Amino acid sequence: MPTTSDRASSPSRRVLVIAHEPDGPGGQVAVRLAERGYEIHTHVVTPDVDAPNTAAPLPDFADYDLVALMGSIRSLTRKDEISSWVHDELASIRAAAAREQPILGVCFGGQLIADALGGSVEESPVFEIGWHRIDPMPGVDNPVGAGPWMEWHHDRFDPPPGAAVLASTAVGPQLFTIGRMVGTQFHPEVDHAHVAHWLGGASPEYLAEVGIDPDALLAEIAQHEDRNTLQCHALVDWFLAEVGLDPLPSAEGGRTR
């Protein structure tokens, strides 16, 4: 099997996007990876959101140059509800770490990396939903900027031993690196259509319970969308440089920050 460095130098570079539900695709993360020359392959884990334990087998992560693990409405504090697939995904992450394969984990994806590599996930005492600024850790630069970034999570992660935590909010860590993996608690990938799909899949009872006004949230995404697209693409550029797959693009190569 080719090594990671062999795959990175291949003319056709492949990304596996793990969308845990149909409304959780790669969004602007995938857009920027495609702009950077990657071929995007999306695998939807649970096509029926009402049947979370009915899942198609995961592709082999080793067949791809890098993997992007996206968010989910599920919780790693209730693995019994997703036992048909979550343990396979955690094992795939551990195998990827052993062969130094790059992975970007977003929200639930970041929680998966933390859990797989010896960290933990717990219910958050405060649900962060909406736009929040993230702060650098003392003495550490925050390479992706303060944002604000979109948050929508009920759980929080404790990064694995050996991870470098780069940014946080008062609720908990927001950005960490470990080996060739990066985990975020926030959602850099969102745009208007993304959030509209999330809202469309949420019941009025849930939205009322967590205090979400759908019209206000959509108005906020309209306000933040252009800036967030730029900062998401800059985050992807930083990730590719951080894991050593690609240098930052030149001015002629696309958006730069």
Judge whether 257 lies within some domain. Answer: no
Judge whether 163 lies within some domain. Answer: yes
Q: Residue 178: give the domain boundaries.
A: 4-250
Residue among 74, 87, 137 nearest 115 (CA)? 87
Question: Are 96 and 61 within 8 A, CB to CB?
Answer: yes
Rounded CA separation 211/191 (Å) = 21
Judge whether 31 lies within some domain. Answer: yes
Judge whether 92 lies within some domain. Answer: yes
Domain count within the chain = 1
User: Does residue 141 surpass a pLDDT of 60?
Assistant: yes
Judge whether 256 lies within some domain. Answer: no
Q: What is the pLDDT of residues 185-218, one digit of tens each?
A: 999 999 998 889 888 888 889 889 888 898 999 9
Judge whether 255 lies within some domain. Answer: no
Residue among 56, 157, 60 nearest 106 (CA)? 157
Q: What is the pLDDT of residues 70-104, one digit of tens each?
A: 999 999 999 999 999 999 999 999 999 999 999 99
Report the CATH number at residue 83. 3.40.50.880
In this structure, how many other beta carbons lie within 10 angstroms of the beta carbon of residue 57? 10
Residue 243: pLDDT band (50, 70, 90) is confident
**What pLDDT does residue 11 have?**
53
